A and B are shown apart, each in its own frame.
Chain A
Amino acid sequence: MTLEAAGFWGLAAVLLASSLAVVLTRNLFHSVLYLAVALIATGGVFLVLDAAFLFGVQLLLYAGGVVTIVVFAIMLTERLVGERIRQTSRSLVPGAGVAVAVLGGVCAFLRRASLPAERPPFPGTQTAALGEALVTRYVLSFELLAVLFVAALLGALYFARTDD
């Protein structure tokens, strides 16, 4: 077993287990902590795919940013200890049915598709290529992203503000 395969299967086990914990655990706060584990494991999968820069972005933005915002949202809308943070789920069987149906459909498609089994060598380093692509071919979308962030920031402030 190569190092890549060992890393992949280990991370896949952690990712699947923590994802299941996110949707099944009854305590909402624990859900968020499991989400952080799942996001870090996803970052690890990026690392296995030689995308070191995306691993850093994943850690900073997702595991650092998103988890912090969600924890604050829970603190503002629930009591951290006590009854109300317990969440129940509804219609478990139909939900599981939909999820299994989607998974089955994708698996059936993947079994028929012809997919590459070997990675072609990447010319140069991926981070350098990514940085170059961002400021040349994709520069317009990159700048538009900044506009989107300003809009999102203003929108979030507008929705969350108090009336006075």
Chain B
Amino acid sequence: MGLRAYLLLAAAVFAIGLFGVTTRRNAVGILLGIELMLNAVNINFVAFARYNASVAGMVFALFTIAITVAEIAVGLAIVIAIFRVRKTVDADHLDLLKG
């Protein structure tokens, strides 16, 4: 089992997440895609840490997990705030910043 297999798996999950982010209409669905992408990055961090016998990658993965949780909490709070004002979470209708 080489490092390559882990990196390929992470790349595939990242691509799937990217597909979700670009195609989903619902804002919560887009956030789920972002979760998948960040998760794929964590696999890379832990795999590199293990194959280099270094702990730095694991520390970084731990920080990424924690920051992702903070990000999803703030992101969903924004989604709820938008829903309260606009009565929709459809990303196609959220174009307030469009000139």
A28 to chain B, nearest CB (A): 6
The answer to whether B73 and A32 have CB atoms under 8 Å apart is no
B-side interface size class: 35 or more
Q: Quick check: A152 and B33 within 8 Å, CB to CB? A: no
Contact with B along A142-159 (1 / 0, CB 8 A): 000100110011011111
Taking the nearest CB of chain B, how far is it from the CB of A142, in angstroms? 8
User: How far, in Å, is A90 (CB) from chain B's closest CB?
Assistant: 6
User: Are the C-beta atoms of B32 and A70 separated by less than 8 Å?
Assistant: yes
Give Cα A61–Cα B72 distance, bound, in whole angstroms. 11
Chain A minimum-CB-distance residue to B3: A115
Q: Is the CB of A39 within 8 A of B25?
A: no
A32 touches B32 (CB 8 A): yes
Interface residues of A, count at CB 8 A: 84
Whole-angstrom CA separation of A95 from B5 in the bound complex: 25
Contact A23 B19 (CB under 8 A): yes
- Can you list the 9 inter-chain pairs with the closest CB atoms, starting with the nearest? A23-B20, A152-B70, A99-B19, A95-B22, A103-B15, A95-B23, A159-B77, A117-B2, A156-B77
B65–A123 touching, CB < 8 Å: no
Contact B28 A22 (CB under 8 A): no
Residue B94 CB within 8 A of the other chain:
no
Chain B residues, Cβ within 8 Å of A66:
35, 68-69, 72
- Would you call B13 and A15 a contact (CB within 8 A)? yes
Interface SS of chain B? helix
Q: Are A159 and B36 touching (Cβ within 8 A)?
A: no
Mask of B55-78 contacts with A, CB within 8 angstroms, 1/0: 110110111011111111110111
**Distance from A77 Cβ to chain B, minimum over Cβ atoms (Å):** 4
A76 touches B (CB below 8 Å): yes
CA–CA, A87 and B27, complex, Å: 10
Instruction: State which of B12, B28, B46 has its C-beta within 8 Å of the C-beta of A51.
Output: B46
Tell me if B92 is interfacial: C-beta within 8 Å of chain A: yes
Interchain CB contact under 8 A, B8 and A107: yes
CA distance A8 to B47 in the complex (A): 12
Residue of B20, B58, B70 near A130 (CB, 8 A) is B58
Q: Is the CB of B59 within 8 A of A99?
A: no
Q: B15 touching A100 by the CB < 8 A rule?
A: yes
Contact between A99 and B43, CB atoms less than 8 A apart: no
Task: Check if A149 sits within 8 Å of B80, measured CB to CB.
Answer: no
CB distance from B34 to the nearest CB of A (A): 11
The interface residues of chain A lying within 8 Å CB-to-CB of B84 are 162
